[in-house]
């Protein structure tokens, strides 16, 4: 038997060969979020279990069966966050940030859900989360969705499409909910086990079922759109009009209810046909009641979460990841004195050329081996420092990506000469 420790199922390492796509996505996201006035905040990975059960809703996949919940040494029930909105809302309340104030916030980090691991579905995965707190919309709803559309444009991703819907107010939804309950109860025999359990608790969840056998029944169910209150109808019409005016294409999907309980009015989801069955890449909506429900002052809010792994997959598939930056300089060393001097030379170059990659050959090796490493590093210039060069006060400079010959350069002039060669 192997005594090797296995990784936890569904939790992945992101290796240097894959990190380029992550960093590209993170750079673009930071730039876009910043351009729309969103500020980064960081909230803990662990929260009291009650935060999630009270906000996400008892009859949801997440709370019913996906949470990593445990008792800590002090006896508290804690949960690894399955999503970020609840924690951000909690943070806004705990830190007294609301009191009529408005905040545009974003956050990036791992989420944890005990799901069946498969391509695009992991137990630790990452999300970008954007939340606009204190904005009643619909202007902010439109702007938030335009921001996501801009992300795809900046990332050169085209195989995504937008679905929107309105869930109305909780009052309007209550009427619809009864209607839906009546409908599904009348078709009790066709319900799967999950749906039957949800029938009493929250029949809206049934619409979110991924069970193929449920599809036809769900298709014929009453539509929430027909039960919307007049204000929500106006809100939704303004949303559609705003997206039209900005040229953001969308589809109204009356079955889009989202898997969490705290949504009201606007909900949206970006889906792709490029990732198989894990097709949701960015999902969000308005949650006007959540903050009050968690004990804060009533504060309208809207937000979304974007699945980083799925977007990274899209980027790799589309081939739209810019190549990683190679180092600029590789220092080849020959001789004992030169080895000591080379460390100082490398530091001098790093002082003079901040941000440029300066690799020093470490661990010795003959010329041939060192040049092979220099080549593989992708560096544009090799600097050759040997005892003999040191004696003459020079370094040999050899371009690696051009046919130009090697030249000697006085040590004292080195940083300036190199800067001109790069």
* Chain residues that interact with ligand ATP, rule: CB under 6 A: 83, 113, 115, 120-122, 125, 127, 259, 278, 280-283, 305, 307, 309-310
d(CA 78, CA 70): 6
Least distance CB 310 / ligand ATP (angstroms): 5
Least distance CB 12 / ligand ATP (angstroms): 10
CB nearer ligand ATP, residue 47 or residue 328: 47
Least distance CB 269 / ligand ATP (angstroms): 7
Least distance CB 38 / ligand ATP (angstroms): 17
Least distance CB 127 / ligand ATP (angstroms): 5
CB nearer ligand ATP, residue 54 or residue 380: 54
CB nearer ligand ATP, residue 66 or residue 179: 66
d(CA 46, CA 43): 9
CB nearer ligand ATP, residue 312 or residue 381: 312
Least distance CB 123 / ligand ATP (angstroms): 7
CB nearer ligand ATP, residue 135 or residue 268: 268
Least distance CB 142 / ligand ATP (angstroms): 20
Least distance CB 261 / ligand ATP (angstroms): 12
3-state SS record for the chain:
CCCCCCCCCCCCCCCHHHHHHHHHHHHHHHHHHHHCCCEECCCCCEEEHHHHHHHHCCCCHHHHHHCEEEECCCCCEEEECCCCHHHHHHHHHHCCCCCCCCEEEEEEEEEECCCCCECCECCEEEEEEEEEECCCCCHHHHHHHHHHHHHHHHCCCCCEEEEEEECCCHHHHHHHHHHHHHHHHHCHHHCCHHHHHHHHHCCHHHHCCCCHHHHHHHHCCCCHHHHCCHHHHHHHHHHHHHHHHHCCCCEECCCCCCCCCCCCCEEEEEEECCCCCCCEEEEEEECCCHHHHCCCCCCCEEEEEEEHHHHHHHHHHHCCCCCCCCCCEEEEEECHHHHHHHHHHHHHHHHHCCCCCEEECCCCCCHHHHHHHHHHHCCCEEEEEEHHHHHHCEEEEEECCCCCCCEEEEHHHHHHHHHHHC
CB nearer ligand ATP, residue 82 or residue 296: 82
CB nearer ligand ATP, residue 311 or residue 332: 311
CB nearer ligand ATP, residue 91 or residue 111: 111
> Cα(first)–Cα(last) distance of the chain, in Å?
53
Nearest residue to ligand ATP by CB is 307
Of 34, 29, 89, 24, which is closest to residue 56 (Cα–Cα)?
Answer: 89
Least distance CB 283 / ligand ATP (angstroms): 4
CB nearer ligand ATP, residue 233 or residue 253: 253
């Amino acid at each position: 038997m192997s005594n090797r420790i296995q990784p936890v199922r569904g939790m992945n390492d992101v290796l240097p060969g894959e990190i380029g796509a992550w960093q590209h996505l993170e750079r673009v996201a930071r730039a876009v979020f910043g351009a729309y006035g969103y500020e980064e905040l960081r909230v803990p990975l662990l929260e009291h279990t009650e935060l999630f059960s009270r906000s996400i809703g008892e009859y949801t996949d997440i709370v019913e069966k996906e949470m990593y919940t445990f008792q800590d040494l002090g006896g508290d029930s804690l949960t690894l966050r399955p999503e970020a909105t609840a924690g951000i809302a909690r943070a806004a309340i705990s830190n007294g940030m609301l009191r009529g104030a408005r905040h545009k916030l974003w956050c990036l980090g791992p989420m944890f859900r005990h799901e069946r691991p498969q391509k695009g579905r992991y137990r630790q995965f990452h999300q970008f989360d954007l939340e606009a707190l204190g904005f009643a919309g619909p202007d902010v709803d439109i702007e938030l969705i335009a921001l996501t559309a801009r992300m795809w444009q900046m990332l050169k991703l085209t195989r995504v499409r937008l679905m929107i819907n309105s869930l109305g107010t909780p009052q309007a939804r209550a009427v619809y909910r009864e209607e839906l309950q009546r409908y599904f109860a009348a078709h009790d025999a066709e319900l799967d086990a999950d749906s039957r359990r949800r029938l009493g608790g929250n029949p809206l969840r049934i619409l979110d079922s991924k069970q193929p056998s449920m599809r036809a029944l769900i298709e014929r169910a009453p539509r929430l759109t027909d039960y919307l209150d007049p204000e929500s109808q106006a809100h939704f019409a303004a949303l559609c009009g705003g997206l039209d005016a900005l040229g953001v294409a969308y589809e109204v999907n009356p079955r889009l209810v989202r898997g969490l309980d705290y949504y009201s009015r606007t909900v949206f989801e970006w889906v792709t046909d490029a990732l198989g069955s894990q097709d949701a890449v960015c999902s969000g909506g308005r949650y006007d009641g959540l903050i009050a429900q968690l004990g804060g002052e009533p504060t309208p809010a809207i937000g979304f979460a974007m699945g980083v792994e799925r977007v990274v997959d899209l980027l790799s598939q589309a081939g739209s990841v810019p190549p990683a930056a190679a180092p600029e300089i590789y220092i080849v060393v020959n001789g004992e004195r030169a080895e000591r001097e080379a460390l100082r030379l490398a530091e001098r170059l790093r002082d003079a050329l901040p941000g440029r990659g300066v690799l020093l050959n470490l661990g010795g090796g003959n010329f041939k081996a060192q040049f092979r490493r220099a080549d593989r590093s992708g560096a544009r210039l090799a600097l050759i420092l040997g005892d003999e060069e040191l004696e003459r006060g020079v370094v040999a400079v050899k371009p690696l990506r051009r046919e130009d010959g090697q030249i000697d350069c006085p040590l004292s002039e080195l940083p300036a000469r190199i800067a001109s060669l790069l």
